[in-house]
Amino acid sequence: MSVRSDAVFREDVFYRKTVLTTGGGSGICKGMTLAMMRHGCNAIIVGRNKEKITSAAAELSRQTKRKCIGVSADVRDVKSLEKAVEEGVEEFGGIDYVICGAAGNFLALGENISPNAFKSVIDIDLLGTFNTIKATLPHVKTAAGAYIAVSATLHYSGLIMQSHASAAKAGVDALCRSLAVELGPSGVRYMTLAPGPIAGTEGIDRLLPTELKEQAVRSIPLQRLGTIDDIANATVFLFSPAASFVTGTTLVVDGGQWHTQQQFGYPESVSADSQPRPRL
């Protein structure tokens, strides 16, 4: 059973700090942002859907009594992100932490994925992460802050119907290692966080059909699906002073599942023309 981070960490550990999150309007990244706000952070959440991101920001503010603004931008467009960063900095004065969480995925065999569909996932996950870093880095350098990119464990083995997402996330991990080395002398830390199967998320609902969930749980050494709180706790730790000597690494939060990762016989009804559905 998971424990909420505010039962572990000092509630003001991020007082007067600001976090920017792409993909923060829903799911895991919304939970990561919520945890940071519960510990004193203000927040900027970025997404393409203005109405959705504004509503999510209002909800996060109500839950935490901290300030959160929703800004419309597309991670595939660095100019769009730069405008979003300007708006956030105007509101809060700077950016200390960044969560690169925007992602897209779908189920398809590699031989059936069109070049455009493959490119869409790379553009959202990998290029989107790079663009987010480019747009925010001047401010994060000033703050000697930190980045967390949301990765995955898909590419730790040859997982069927996930060649596109696996390639993108492997690139995110490689980017982390290089940038951690380059940015270290500036005092900036860069890490990736790799969730396993997390209950109550769009990803688990779409990528793991109901009839296969019990089989999946049996393959996890800790014998349960993860929770959004599990990922949120890891986020608070990595950004906190307790992890001040941690950089250039991936923290896997999956109950040990990647050590036993196996194929679960995805349904054959997956369309080759399926398009990625970005979490933005």
pLDDT at 279: 47
Instruction: Classify burial at 221, counting beta carbons within 10 Å of its beta carbon; exposed 0-12, middle 13-18, buried 19 or more.
Output: exposed
pTM beyond cutoff 0.85 = yes
pLDDT at 280: 44
pLDDT at 228: 96
Active-site residue numbers?
A: 151, 169
Residue by residue, DSSP assigns the chain as ----GGGTS-TTTTTT-EEEEETTTSHHHHHHHHHHHHTT-EEEEEES-HHHHHHHHHHHHHHHSS-EEEEE--TT-HHHHHHHHHHHHHHHS---EEEE--B------GGG--HHHHHHHHIIIIIHHHHHHHHHHHHHHHHT-EEEEE--SGGGTT-TT-HHHHHHHHHHHHHHHHHHHHHGGGT-EEEEEEE--BTTSHHHHHHS-HHHHHHHHHTSTTSS-B-HHHHHHHHHHHHSGGGTT--S-EEEESTTGGGS-------TT--TT-----B-
**Using CA atoms, how far apart are residues 164 and 119, in angstroms rounded to an integer?**
8
Query: Please, what are the domains in the chain?
Result: 5-197+227-259 (3.40.50.720)
In the chain, which stretches have pLDDT less than 50? 266, 269-272, 278-280
